[in-house]
């Protein structure tokens, strides 16, 4: 059987990283990372760092302008004061975002003060309709009460 020659990285290109444990976590922050982010990573971990970075990002007001973002079939039909609106659509249509934006418009306009969010479980309602990427909290501008 022929022996296979093992490829190695030339010493010039190989970079040694000092580690503080057997798991390989670096003692020093990676070069090129903002020192504030590196400090957050060191103190609270990646999840905490990501949340703080997202909290400090500037929000584009246009991402909250549903009148411009929505497709025609995602807007409440005009004319009547709707109490029930069924959206029977497939994955990716934007049902959650459409519902969240419609509820937000109703509440912000004063048209409704109390609403019901209905889902399989309380956890589903919270994780999808309220805290999810298209939920009520995501479509509501952070600077509005």
Cβ-proximal residues to 115 (8 Å cutoff; 6+ apart), any chain: 103, 106, 107
Give the model confidence (pLDDT) of 22-47 as tens digits.
444 445 555 566 677 677 667 766 66
Q: Are residues 96 and 68 in the same domain?
A: yes
Rounded Cα gap, residues 125 and 37, in angstroms: 33
Residue 86 structural domain:
61-139
Domain count, the chain: 2
Q: Are residues 70 and 128 in the same domain?
A: yes
Residue 51 phi, psi (nearest 5): -60, -45
- Determine what percent of the chain is predicted with pLDDT higher than 90: 26
Rounded Cα gap, residues 67 and 87, in angstroms: 18
| The overall pTM is greater than 0.75 | no
Please report the DSSP string for 28-51 in residue order: SPPTTS-HHHHHHHHHH-HHHHHH
Give per-10-residue mean pLDDT for the chain (145 aa): 56 49 49 67 67 62 83 86 84 94 89 89 94 89 68
């Amino acid at each position: 059987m022929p022996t296979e020659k093992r490829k190695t990285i030339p010493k010039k290109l190989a970079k040694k990283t000092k580690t503080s444990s057997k798991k390989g976590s670096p003692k020093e922050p990676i070069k090129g990372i903002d020192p504030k982010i590196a400090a957050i990573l060191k103190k609270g971990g990646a999840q905490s760092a990501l949340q703080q970075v997202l909290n400090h990002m500037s929000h584009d007001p246009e991402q909250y302008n549903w009148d411009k973002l929505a497709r025609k079939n995602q807007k409440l039909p005009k004319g009547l004061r709707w109490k029930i609106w069924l959206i029977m659509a497939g994955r990716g249509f934007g049902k959650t975002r459409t519902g969240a934006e419609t509820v937000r418009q109703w509440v912000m306009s004063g048209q409704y003060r109390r609403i019901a969010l209905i889902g399989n479980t309380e956890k589903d309602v919270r994780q999808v309709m309220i805290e999810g990427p298209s939920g009520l909290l995501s479509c509501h501008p952070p600077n509005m009460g």
